[in-house]
Amino acid sequence: MRGYVKSERKLVTARHHAWIQLDIPCARGLWFHLATGFKIIARMLGGEPLGQGLRGQRSLENIGFMADGEDPQDGAEPENALAGPEVPPLHDPGRLLDELSKEYYAVVGIVSGFDQRLMTIKGWSVTVSLAALGLAFQQGHYALFGLAAGTGLVFWIIDILTKRHQMRYYPRMRDIEVAASKLNNVKLRDGKVLSAPRVDWTWLLPGKRSKRDWRHDPPGERTQKEIRQMLRRAPWMGNVMLPHLVAVVLGLVLFFLAVFNVHGLAALKP
């Protein structure tokens, strides 16, 4: 009888120590992975509840694997694994079209920035030239007329160079429009084919004198000859010449009239 009581007390004590070990957070990774200790504690606590509590609701059928240092689920992918973002293939027309769209609107932003610079150059040209003309009459020196003409000419040259820098982006805009038209276009019921963007292509369409409607034709690339002609034409474009040409012409006319002592300007000194 006494032996039975002692064994019962030992069993109760062992179960008490086992539950204390279960409360230790690191017990799963350290002590209970040992083969001998794990099997003893599992048997004392009834087997099935312990096995499920130790290894995330696993049954005791897997205890033999864990005791030998093996995991039956090793190599299996977790069910709730977070899938990373799907990487599109390198040769993806949709991805190419998206990148071209980003580049196109970036180029449009650069071109718009040049317009602001050109307006600043024209503003300084008018301000300095008019100031020189006014000082010429106020101070009585016709040499300032020549200064006004020279100032207008300098700002005209700066305007030409800036405009050419801006125009060098036009061919790239056209190339993107051509590529976008080939990658993504829609044919309507009336036979017209639409694609986007077409800003540069539409800008160069013929005016009213053309008998043909070019608006729905596919965009065409700029040739090297067309690009060279466009850059050579820049100095003589109306939006580039003005208002610098007015300052140059007016300054030169007043200067030579004063040199030849024309009536009203004869009193001016060099």
Tens digits of residue pLDDT in 121-155 = 999 999 999 999 999 999 999 999 999 999 999 99
Give the total number of structural domains in the chain: 2
Neighbouring CB atoms inside 10 A of 211's CB total 6
pLDDT at 269: 86
Q: Does some domain include residue 268?
A: no
pLDDT reading at 71 higher than 60: no
Q: Does some domain include residue 134?
A: yes
**Same domain for 139 and 59?**
no
Greater confidence (214 vs 55) lies with 214
Residue range(s) defining the domain that contains residue 118:
93-204+214-259
C-alpha atoms less than 13 angstroms from C-alpha of 116 in its C-beta half-sphere: 5
The partner residues of 186 in beta bridges, in order of sequence, read: 194
pLDDT reading at 165 higher than 70: yes
Q: Is-contact 209 122, C-beta < 8 A?
A: no
**Same domain for 59 and 155?**
no
Q: Does some domain include residue 74?
A: no
Greater confidence (219 vs 91) lies with 219
Query: pTM here?
Result: 0.64
pLDDT at 1: 52
Name the token pair of 268: 């001016």
Q: 206 vs 82, 140, 214, 221, 232, CA distance in Å? A: 57, 51, 8, 16, 20
Q: Does some domain include residue 183?
A: yes
Is residue 159 very low, low, confident or very high in pLDDT (cuts 50, 70, 90)?
A: very high
Q: Does some domain include residue 109?
A: yes
Residues 160, 114: Cα–Cα separation, whole Å: 12
Residues 79, 77: Cα–Cα separation, whole Å: 6
